């Protein structure tokens, strides 16, 4: 007897995260029965390849959820806010990658390596996946928390432009092509000429040029000088780790990198920490790669990490001022673990429930 | 009666910082009498323009310091270590931009906005100027320290490639030209193909590709996982601020920016801080520009700051967990205030001594 394989809908199949999801579904081809690809009416009728088969994209509508066991939402907040409850009402378990439900009390926020148990308690039929910045660091930090007891995080991000969607990648590409013809000396005029007026002519999701620049603002104004992405890291780390009083301060900065978010992390624990023990924990934690021998050139960078599943950790040092604090540099592919992979992992744990039921 | 204008030697006139120094000397043309340009024998005989005049570059040798009042050293550590004492023995006051003397007890380390008085006490005839990373943040932090009493700094840098000299800029330019022909999608192969083998073929001062990447390692191995640049920030901030026990933790990361270092700074003070008062202090501090209205797009980025003299500060927030801590994003041109300008400021204060004597 073969167990029934559950059916899946992928809403947002044509986006940047959708594209990564289709590759993950092809790699994990034996989990799902029928796979329906869904997008806005504008993209309906396009054909995409998943699990080796050309599959027509359906327009988002109520009836696409008929008979669907699990629905992945890889779409903007407003689309999720409207359509996820409709899919749930039709009986699908929704795994939502948007911010629409992440901080709702009756929606679990899940990182399978840390709180997979939370997936099963989903009174609204919706499970949320964290922001890509939270996901880039929390697997490593969570493993250390289990041993040392986390008390405070001070984080500065080096975020990839794909965190702002396909428009972010397009803006970087167009700005780089403006720069390509320019002699890059150290005279300020070189950079200004290349990026000044030209960059402003390129439509961009960033508030400043991102090629040959860094942009310390991500998301929207959240009051008192904070950006929404900075507060998201704070609230989501607290919720996933089950530490409602965790001290957490983030500064979010876009850098001219296509994919993979990096984080400089100061983590203070309840107990004294030793680098050797932290190395042992990180080297054996699920979903973590330890890459930490900087004098030999072994530290994670986005170009090492892009396209891989795990969170990579290096530059682990104990604070010279506080025996309870560690410094680390952490990289995670924002489109894989930071988005599509975490959603797929949650979905597969729901699939296992359905298959075993 | 006209006071005698002191004579100047610029050692390292043909380097990246030397080029910026010549522009500053041309802008402050009335300070100096004779200006001698000095470089390695390899560059001797080249002609450079300073104060509107073509000037021949002299080969570094003892006699170039004959009759020189002030000698600026803009050269690698080993060259300064050998030649600065020779120039001082000839009677020149040496202003040294290298790391050779910065932490010596009998050499003052000077940032004129903070400790200009220290310039006058120079038993060896040598005054040192801090590392570019220290200089990018210390003017702003020093102004806040004077009011609130600094206790701890936790800093993550976004360092420009020109911090690694002309070779750093060349490496970024060559790596970007490898990328220019590539379609920049979000598939990991796109980035790998562009940067993988090609970037390794480019000679580079960085331990990993720096185009479309970030590199969390600056300087040499300083033990226990720390880089030399990270320890330099710690020791130099302590010395310049006169706070030998200041808690200071730095993580230094190169980003694909040509010039201007940025810093994400967590600063904890003895006393409670208010953002309004911090704004007042920063808006009126010498050498600081406050640019802090992020919801309107007003925050400093390297493309705003490059080529300007001051330290720019934005993203000022009070920690949500500690009323004594501020978060800030600080940018400073690493070739101007971060190197040539600070040296010129120190030299001009020595010139004023000589002129008044």
Q: Which CATH number belongs to the domain containing residue B248 in this structure? A: 3.30.360.10
Decide if pLDDT at B188 tops 60.
no
Q: Does A228 lie at the interface with B, CB-CB under 8 angstroms? A: no
Higher-scoring residue by pLDDT: A28, A310 = A310
Taking contacts as CB-CB distances below 8 angstroms, the residues of chain A near B302 are 191, 212-214
Decide if pLDDT at A357 tops 80.
no
User: CB–CB of B299/B314 below 8 Å?
Assistant: yes
One of A132, A237, A252, A331 is an active-site residue; which one?
A132
Chain A: closest CA distance from residue B78 (Å): 21
Decide if pLDDT at A192 tops 60.
no
For residue A28, what is the domain's CATH number?
A: 3.40.50.720
Taking contacts as CB-CB distances below 8 angstroms, the residues of chain A near B185 are 169
Q: For the residues of A15-67, what is the DSSP string, one character each?
A: SHHHHHHHHHHHHTTTS-S-EEEEE-GGGTT-EEEETTEEEEEEEP-GGGGTT
In 10 A of CB B182, how many CB atoms? 16
Q: Three-state SS across B157-215?
A: EEECHHHHCHHHHHHHHHHHHHHHCCCCCCCHHHHHHHHHHHHHHCCCCCCCCCCCCCE
> In this complex, do A251 and B327 lie within 8 Å of one another by their Cβ atoms?
yes
**Same domain? A27 vs A111:** yes
Average pLDDT over every residue of B108-127? 97
**Same domain? B118 vs B153:** no
* Model confidence band, residue A62 (pLDDT cutoffs 50, 70, 90): very high
Q: Does A317 lie at the interface with B, CB-CB under 8 angstroms? A: yes
The interface predicted TM-score (ipTM) is 0.93
Q: What is the pLDDT of residues A319-339, one digit of tens each?
A: 999 999 999 999 999 999 989
CA separation for the pair A318, A327 (Å, rounded): 6
For the question of residue B261 being annotated catalytic, the response is: yes
* Model confidence band, residue B240 (pLDDT cutoffs 50, 70, 90): very high
**Same domain? A156 vs A294:** yes
Chain B: closest CA distance from residue A1 (Å): 39
CA dihedral A146, A147, A149, A153 (to 10 degrees): -80
Phi and psi based region of residue A223 (left: phi greater than 0; alpha: psi -120 to 50; beta: remaining): left
CA separation for the pair B292, A176 (Å, rounded): 27
Decide if pLDDT at B191 tops 80.
no
- Predicted confidence at residue B196, as pLDDT, reads 56
**Same domain? B104 vs B152:** no
Decide if pLDDT at B1 tops 50.
no
Q: What is the pLDDT of residues A310-323, one digit of tens each?
A: 999 999 999 999 99
* Model confidence band, residue B29 (pLDDT cutoffs 50, 70, 90): confident
Q: Give the range among A199-203, B115-119, B196-200 with minimum mean pLDDT.
A: B196-200
* Model confidence band, residue A147 (pLDDT cutoffs 50, 70, 90): very high
For residue A242, give the nearest of A96, A122, A110, A98 by alpha carbon. A110
Average pLDDT over every residue of B197-203? 61
* Model confidence band, residue B183 (pLDDT cutoffs 50, 70, 90): low
- Predicted confidence at residue A1, as pLDDT, reads 45
CA separation for the pair B160, A158 (Å, rounded): 14
* Model confidence band, residue A187 (pLDDT cutoffs 50, 70, 90): low
**Same domain? A147 vs A232:** yes
- Predicted confidence at residue B357, as pLDDT, reads 72
Using CB atoms and an 8 Å cut-off, which of residues 140-179 of chain B contact chain A? Answer: 152, 154, 156, 158, 162, 166, 169, 172-173, 176-177, 179
* Model confidence band, residue A211 (pLDDT cutoffs 50, 70, 90): very high
* Model confidence band, residue B36 (pLDDT cutoffs 50, 70, 90): very high
> In this complex, do B156 and A302 lie within 8 Å of one another by their Cβ atoms?
no
Domain of residue A268 covers 133-164+215-334
Q: For the residues of B311-341, what is the DSSP string, one character each?
A: EEEEEEEE-SS-TTEEEEEEEE-TTIIIIIH
**Same domain? B98 vs B147:** no
Average pLDDT over every residue of B29-50? 95
Compute the mean pLDDT over every residue in chain B, rounded to the nearest whole number.
Answer: 93
In a domain, B88, yes or no: yes
Decide if pLDDT at B72 tops 50.
yes
Taking contacts as CB-CB distances below 8 angstroms, the residues of chain A near B256 are 212, 255-256
Domain tally, chain B: 2
Q: Does A324 lie at the interface with B, CB-CB under 8 angstroms? A: no
Q: Does B191 lie at the interface with A, CB-CB under 8 angstroms? A: yes
Compute the mean pLDDT over every residue in chain A, rounded to the nearest whole number.
Answer: 93
In a domain, A33, yes or no: yes
In a domain, B34, yes or no: yes
- Predicted confidence at residue A198, as pLDDT, reads 56
Q: Does B329 lie at the interface with A, CB-CB under 8 angstroms? A: yes
In a domain, A207, yes or no: no
Nearest chain B residue to A206 by CA distance is B297
User: CB–CB of A201/B185 below 8 Å?
Assistant: no
- Predicted confidence at residue A356, as pLDDT, reads 77
**Same domain? B153 vs B283:** yes
In a domain, A208, yes or no: no
**Same domain? B107 vs B157:** no
**Same domain? A264 vs A324:** yes
For the question of residue A261 being annotated catalytic, the response is: yes
Phi and psi based region of residue B101 (left: phi greater than 0; alpha: psi -120 to 50; beta: remaining): alpha
Q: What is the pLDDT of residues B298-357, one digit of tens each?
A: 999 999 999 999 999 999 999 999 999 999 999 999 999 989 999 999 999 999 998 877
**Same domain? A149 vs A99:** no
Decide if pLDDT at A183 tops 70.
no
In a domain, A199, yes or no: no
**Same domain? A142 vs A253:** yes
Q: Does B115 lie at the interface with A, CB-CB under 8 angstroms? A: no
* Model confidence band, residue B192 (pLDDT cutoffs 50, 70, 90): low
CA separation for the pair A193, B75 (Å, rounded): 29
CA separation for the pair A314, A289 (Å, rounded): 9
In a domain, A270, yes or no: yes
**Same domain? A108 vs A148:** no
User: CB–CB of B330/B140 below 8 Å?
Assistant: yes
DSSP letter for B117, please.
Answer: G
Q: What is the pLDDT of residues A233-280, one digit of tens each?
A: 999 999 999 999 999 999 999 999 999 999 999 999 999 999 999 999
Half-sphere exposure (Cβ direction) of B229: Cα atoms closer than 13 Å: 21
In a domain, B208, yes or no: no
**What percent of chain A clears pLDDT 70, i.e. is strictly above it?**
93
């Amino acid at each position: 007897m073969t167990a029934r394989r559950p059916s899946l809908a992928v809403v947002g199949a044509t986006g940047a995260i959708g594209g990564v999801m289709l590759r993950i579904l092809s790699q994990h081809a034996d989990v799902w029965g029928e796979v329906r690809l869904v997008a806005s009416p504008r993209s309906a009728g396009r054909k995409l390849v998943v699990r080796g088969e050309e599959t027509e994209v359906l327009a988002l509508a109520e009836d696409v959820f008929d008979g669907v066991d699990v629905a992945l939402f890889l779409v903007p907040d407003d689309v999720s806010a409207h359509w996820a409850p409709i899919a749930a009402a039709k009986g699908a378990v929704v795994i939502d990658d948007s911010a629409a439900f992440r901080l709702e009390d009756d929606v679990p926020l899940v990182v399978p390596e840390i709180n997979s148990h939370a997936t099963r308690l989903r009174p609204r039929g919706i499970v949320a996946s964290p922001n890509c910045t939270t996901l880039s660091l929390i697997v490593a930090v969570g493993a250390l928390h289990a041993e040392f007891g986390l008390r405070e995080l001070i984080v500065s991000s080096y975020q990839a432009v794909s965190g702002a969607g396909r428009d972010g990648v397009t803006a970087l590409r167009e700005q780089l092509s403006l720069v390509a013809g320019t002699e890059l000396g150290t005279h300020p005029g070189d950079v200004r000429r290349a990026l000044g007026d030209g960059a402003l002519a390129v439509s961009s999701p960033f508030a400043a040029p991102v090629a040959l620049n860094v942009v310390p603002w991500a998301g929207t104004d959240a009051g008192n000088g904070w950006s929404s992405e900075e507060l998201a890291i704070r609230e989501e780390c607290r919720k996933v780790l089950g530490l409602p009083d965790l001290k957490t301060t983030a500064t979010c900065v876009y850098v001219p990198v296509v994919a993979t978010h990096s984080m400089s992390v100061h983590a203070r624990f309840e107990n004294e920490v030793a680098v050797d023990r932290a190395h042992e924990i990180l080297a054996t934690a699920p979903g973590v790669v330890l890459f930490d021998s900087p004098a030999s050139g072994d530290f994670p960078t986005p170009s090492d990490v892009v396209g891989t599943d795990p969170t990579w950790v290096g530059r682990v040092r104990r604070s010279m001022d506080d025996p309870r604090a560690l410094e680390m540099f952490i990289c995670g592919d924002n489109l894989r673990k930071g988005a599509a992979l975490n959603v797929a992992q949650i979905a597969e744990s729901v699939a296992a429930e359905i298959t075993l039921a």
